[in-house]
Amino acid sequence: MSEDEIILTHILQCRAIDLAVDGLALTPSQEEQFRRYKCRRLAGEPLQYILGCCDFMGLELGVNPTVLVPRPETEQLVDTALKYFKGGAALDLGTGSGNIAVALAKFVEHCEVIAMDKSAQALDTARANAKRHGVMQRMTFIHGDMSNEKFILNLLKDAKFDLVISNPPYIPTEQLSTLPQDVRKEPPAALDGGRDGLKFIRIIIKYTPCLLRKGACLMMEFGDGQAEAVKQLAQDTRLFSTIEIFKDLAGRDRVMRAVL
């Protein structure tokens, strides 16, 4: 579907096929709405913020400028995680819209998911998405900073997870200003991975072995060109028995699975 068609199906609350079969019958107020949406799009606003929703693994999720727009690469991360995670406890670090956490809770029947984020507004969005998909009672939301050692150590006290999963911010700081206009409308804290892009990846790899039960795994998305560094960081812990890298649909290394 073209962007115009997506906007039209949203305004008319119809399916793409209805556009072709019935032709367009916009009321004057719908025409005005279409024009306003197009103007916002031309100003570089992501389409998903304009519509207030997006599709993630077949689930409609609410999104807004306080959260990253879920990406197809992250569907790949969850798809891969679903092959290994069949139940138990999962922890999603940097949950944003809750896309990963809600999808796990939705597709894995016997599981509990903790979703954490530093952004209180993102957690509100994640909670709303959990409600929307009826998985609220199997989810816990934690407001915290994963770069704060005290926070992590507190979480460690009694937690043993079957899966730790994350799509952390992984773009090197100096690349942020070179990103396309619509990406720059997304929250900088959701993108900024520090000087080399690996700031949060280092933290997650350092602490995750203490959070996992034996045989459980860390699954993490990372950026283009970061695979070797990410793999090395995991190897350096000498705690993971297996480290695997998976490619995205474009054939680029994108996801690591590290088994304790």
Ligand X SMILES: C[S@@+](CC[C@H](N)C(=O)[O-])C[C@H]1O[C@@H](n2cnc3c(N)ncnc32)[C@H](O)[C@@H]1O
Residues that bind ligand X (CB under 6 A): 67-68, 70, 74, 94-97, 99-100, 117-119, 122, 145-147, 167-169, 189-190
Q: Name which of 100 and 130 has its Cβ closer to ligand X.
A: 100
Q: Closest separation between CB of residue 90 and ligand X, Å?
A: 13
Q: Name which of 92 and 162 has its Cβ closer to ligand X.
A: 92
Q: Is the dihedral of CA 121, 123, 126, 131 positive or negative?
A: negative
Q: Closest separation between CB of residue 119 and ligand X, Å?
A: 4
Q: Closest separation between CB of residue 74 and ligand X, Å?
A: 4
Length of the chain: 260
Q: Name which of 113 and 190 has its Cβ closer to ligand X.
A: 190
Q: Closest separation between CB of residue 189 and ligand X, Å?
A: 5
Q: Name which of 119 and 233 has its Cβ closer to ligand X.
A: 119
Cβ–Cβ under 8 Å, residues 240 and 259? yes
Strands (DSSP E) along 82-209, which ranges?
Answer: 88-93, 111-117, 139-143, 161-166
Q: Is the dihedral of CA 73, 119, 66, 16 positive or negative?
A: positive
Cβ–Cβ under 8 Å, residues 120 and 145? no
Q: Name which of 76 and 95 has its Cβ closer to ligand X.
A: 95
| d(C-alpha 40, C-alpha 45), whole Å | 6
| d(C-alpha 64, C-alpha 56), whole Å | 14
Proportion of the chain in helix, strand, coil states, percent, rounded to 5: 45, 20, 30
Residue 188 neighbours by CB under 8 Å, 6+ apart? 176
Q: Closest separation between CB of residue 99 and ligand X, Å?
A: 5
User: Which uninterrupted H or E stretch holds 132?
Assistant: helix 120-132
Q: Closest separation between CB of residue 47 and ligand X, Å?
A: 16
Beta partners for residue 113, in sequence order: 90, 139
| d(C-alpha 2, C-alpha 70), whole Å | 19
Q: Name which of 11 and 45 has its Cβ closer to ligand X.
A: 45
Q: Closest separation between CB of residue 98 and ligand X, Å?
A: 8
Q: Name which of 146 and 201 has its Cβ closer to ligand X.
A: 146
Look at residue 170 and give its three-state secondary structure.
coil
